[in-house]
Amino acid sequence: MPQSSAYQDSGVDIAAATRANQLMAEAVHSTHTPAVLAGMGSFGGCFDLAASTNKGSVLVSSTDSVGTKTLVAAAVGRYDTVGQDLVNHCINDILVQGARPLFFLDYIAVAKLEPLQIADLVGGVAAACRNATCALVGGETAELPDVYRDQAFDIAGTIVGIVERERMLPRDVVVGDAIIALPSTGLHTNGYSLARRIVAKTAATHALEHTPYVLRLPELNHDTLGEALLAIHRPYLHEVEALWNAGVTLHALAHITGGGLYDNLPRVLPDGLGAVVRRGSWDIPPICSWLVHAGELAEREAFHVLNMGLGMLMVVPSEDVHIALNAVSDARLVGEITNDAMVQLI
Amino acid sequence: MPQSSAYQDSGVDIAAATRANQLMAEAVHSTHTPAVLAGMGSFGGCFDLAASTNKGSVLVSSTDSVGTKTLVAAAVGRYDTVGQDLVNHCINDILVQGARPLFFLDYIAVAKLEPLQIADLVGGVAAACRNATCALVGGETAELPDVYRDQAFDIAGTIVGIVERERMLPRDVVVGDAIIALPSTGLHTNGYSLARRIVAKTAATHALEHTPYVLRLPELNHDTLGEALLAIHRPYLHEVEALWNAGVTLHALAHITGGGLYDNLPRVLPDGLGAVVRRGSWDIPPICSWLVHAGELAEREAFHVLNMGLGMLMVVPSEDVHIALNAVSDARLVGEITNDAMVQLI
């Protein structure tokens, strides 16, 4: 039925929404496993638990957004990556409790609905879901011109995963356990408010105020700032599965997000325990080094706001280090658990 | 640890976020049932399935927002209701597939983080969750000054519920089934872009351009426009449970949201079937009648954009009508299922 003109006059473009729905349908469907029930009505996403549950199963869920990384994406005009950032961030957040993803729902809100842009955003969400065998079972796209600034958008999402109760993490962390790092690809999804301020300051000195992200820098291996800042948040599901398959006993995982090393590692340690992390034992991504230099950040501040290359920290028994490093080629031994209740860079 | 000044200069106020977290903690905790596992780390919400699942359980999930109802709330300066709207909307959306709520996660994004405002928003979410014995297991609050307009905010959320596969709705809808309506409290969460336009036009004629929602109207039983427009979205979980307990066989439920009667009822009917709904068999809320009059909306348009008092439609066997109307005092018989594949007001 044709949409009423009074409603369109209100700034809600139903035709664009319909077109966006058509464009995203195929991407969404590509994530569906046999556990997703279709044709049962279209209000709620339906996930059949029969294949997944045993007695003692726990659902682990997390909602997150990608913060102001959306502003970098909008400035660069690239919309196919932040959906991947969002899903991968959520995958890592439930992985630290030992959970594997079951399904995902996205929420996208825009000032003005552009079907191709929405299709790119949802396409990114779907690609990351497929990569993790996670079904994209639902979502909502809202056009809210009076809420969002021109050209601005927000993307948030919710993941639901599952873990056997007795396999939940963290568990059994003791003094002397090793800390192994999996590298980040860059900022992942944290620190963008600070990064954008530093970029703006730098761009001004190059007379690039209006197009700061095209600045191509030797320090970034000749990538542009836009390319370096949009590097996709890395998911660590496959690496953690590789460790499980290799027989490594994981005691804890710490996903280094907002608050950095200093806030995120203590969250998974028992009271009274701490950690040392050795400078120089892993690679700091060029974009992080550049931000520290250009923003004149103190080390403590840098490690509080940025992941500084430490994407995921894994706490394992010291005797499992060798197997772990063999199972995941870019894993690095970076430190160990101590009985001093603080996190120290040494 | 004190937050670095460079980060605060970027427009992200960590102290306000911490204060907001303290204020919301009690409200969140008040929604927790024994199924919520605490103390297992704080990245993901953990929901123990042991109490809920049988073989054949299906998880039904839905993500939604309250659209531009947030702009009315911000204009009126009242933040404790839209969280309830959000949860209740989601409860109804999974109820139409027969699912009861298990848990909820919220996403709140603001231009500037005001702890008391966030506490009111989350307090509303928690109140509605408690009312439905739905655990609020997670959430995210983001301060994104360059994404949202000044004073604007968005609130979205994800619900996960459960239903036995053989009890999923819709099922067995046949010609002659009765349609019973449960009344809405007003617009619920749809039609606010149109409503705000009509309000702005009306306020201009009263020289109230800057404070349109204080307009108090006899047609609204002397409520203000703000009060009438912020009426809380009604959840129908308890009414549907009352029907189940009374032995009524539910064939289908239609939650009348965006798209109104014309779009939402057909979604739960088998191909080839339609419905007649009788004018005058239920009460149209004063705010809907006022919008139709002030906005000069055609009837078809009004029933396409607004719920017009039909909050939830329940399709039941004709022989169960008497029991259903006795079990829920404000339920009304409004029509029946036909073999004419359209929805007609008669």
Q: How confident is the model over A143-186, as pLDDT tens digits?
A: 888 888 888 899 999 999 999 888 999 999 999 999 999 999 99
Assess if residue B173 is contained within a domain: no
Q: Which residues of chain B have pLDDT under 50?
A: 1-5, 39-41
- What burial class does residue B9 get, using C-beta atoms within 10 Å of its C-beta: 0-12 exposed, 13-18 middle, 19+ buried? exposed
What pLDDT score does A83 carry? 96
CATH of the domain at A40: 3.30.1330.10
Same domain (yes/no): B199, B235 = yes
Question: Among the listed ranges A46-60, A221-235, B66-80, B192-206, which one has the minimum average pLDDT value?
Answer: A46-60
What pLDDT score does A41 carry? 41
Assess if residue A334 is contained within a domain: yes
Question: What is the band of A192 on the pLDDT scale with cuts at 50, 70, 90?
Answer: very high
Amino acid at B9: D
Q: Which of B44, B255, B298 sits opposite A61 (nearest CB)?
A: B44
Percent with pLDDT over 90 in chain A = 69
Could you tell me which residue, B193 or A32, shows the higher pLDDT? B193
Contacts of B46 in chain A (CB under 8 A): 58-60, 97, 168
CA angle A53, A56, A62 (to 5 degrees): 75
Assess if residue A51 is contained within a domain: yes
Cα four-point dihedral sign B258, B261, B263, B265? positive
Of A332, A326, A316, the C-alpha closest to A284 is: A332
Give residues with Cβ within 8 angstroms of A218, minimum separation 6: none
A67 CB near a chain B CB, below 8 Å? Answer: yes
Percent with pLDDT over 70 in chain A = 92
Report the DSSP pairing between strands A343-345 and A274-277.
Answer: parallel
Amino acid at B91: I
Question: What is the band of A48 on the pLDDT scale with cuts at 50, 70, 90?
Answer: confident
Assess if residue A5 is contained within a domain: no
Q: Do A67 and B193 touch (CB under 8 A)?
A: no
B151 CB near a chain A CB, below 8 Å? Answer: no
Q: Tell me which residue range forms the domain holding A38.
A: 13-167
Domain boundary among the residues A115, A133, A167 is at A167
Q: Do A6 and B93 touch (CB under 8 A)?
A: no
A93 CB near a chain B CB, below 8 Å? Answer: yes
Give residues with Cβ within 8 angstroms of B44, minimum separation 6: A60, A61, A62, A93, A94, A96, A97, A99, A161, B138
CA angle B177, B178, B180 (to 5 degrees): 145
The pLDDT tens digits of the residues spanning B154-169 come to: 999 999 999 988 899 9
Same domain (yes/no): A243, A101 = no
- The ipTM of this complex is 0.91
Q: Do B97 and A60 touch (CB under 8 A)?
A: no
Between positions 230 and 249 of A, the ones with CB within 8 A of B are none
Assess if residue B236 is contained within a domain: yes
Contacts of A144 in chain B (CB under 8 A): 67-68, 154
Same domain (yes/no): B186, B248 = yes
Q: How far apart are CA A101 and CA A160, in angstroms?
A: 6
What pLDDT score does B6 carry? 59
Same domain (yes/no): A194, A338 = yes
A209 pLDDT more than 60:
yes
A130 CB near a chain B CB, below 8 Å? Answer: no
Same domain (yes/no): B119, B53 = yes
Q: Which backbone phi and psi does B200 adopt, to 5 degrees?
A: -60, -40
Has this prediction a pTM greater than 0.90?
A: yes
Q: Do B44 and A149 touch (CB under 8 A)?
A: no
Contacts of B45 in chain A (CB under 8 A): 60-62
Q: How far is CA B97 from the centre of its chain?
A: 16
Neighbours of A271 (CB within 10 A): 6
Same domain (yes/no): A198, A224 = yes
Q: How far apart are CA B27 and CA B40, in angstroms?
A: 20
A326 pLDDT more than 50:
yes
Same domain (yes/no): A18, A130 = yes
Number of H-type helices and E-type strands within chain A? 12, 11
Same domain (yes/no): B44, B120 = yes
Could you tell me which residue, B41 or A118, shows the higher pLDDT? A118
Question: What is the band of A5 on the pLDDT scale with cuts at 50, 70, 90?
Answer: very low
Domain boundary among the residues B167, B199, B234 is at B167
Same domain (yes/no): A54, A18 = yes
Across chain B, where does the E strand assignment appear?
45-48, 57-65, 100-110, 135-143, 153-164, 178-183, 252-255, 274-277, 310-316, 332-338, 343-345
* Segment A221-243 mean pLDDT: 96
Domain boundary among the residues A133, A167, A201 is at A167
What pLDDT score does B55 carry? 65
Same domain (yes/no): A123, A210 = no
Assess if residue B191 is contained within a domain: yes
Give residues with Cβ within 8 angstroms of B296, minimum separation 6: none
Q: What does pLDDT average to over chain A?
A: 90
Assess if residue A2 is contained within a domain: no
**Torsion, Cα of B314, B319, B325, B328 (10° steps):** -60
What pLDDT score does A40 carry? 41
Q: How far apart are CA A283 and CA A292, in angstroms?
A: 14
Of B168, B173, B163, the C-alpha closest to B316 is: B173
Contacts of B61 in chain A (CB under 8 A): 44-45, 47, 103, 105, 137-138, 158, 160
> How many residue contacts between A and B have a Cβ separation below 8 Å?
273
Question: What is the band of A7 on the pLDDT scale with cuts at 50, 70, 90?
Answer: low
Assess if residue A4 is contained within a domain: no
What pLDDT score does A11 carry? 60
What pLDDT score does A3 carry? 35
Same domain (yes/no): A149, A272 = no
CATH of the domain at A183: 3.90.650.10
Same domain (yes/no): B300, B334 = yes
Total number of domains in chain B: 2
Contacts of A7 in chain B (CB under 8 A): 193-194, 301, 304-305
Q: Do A156 and B107 touch (CB under 8 A)?
A: yes
A1 pLDDT more than 50:
no
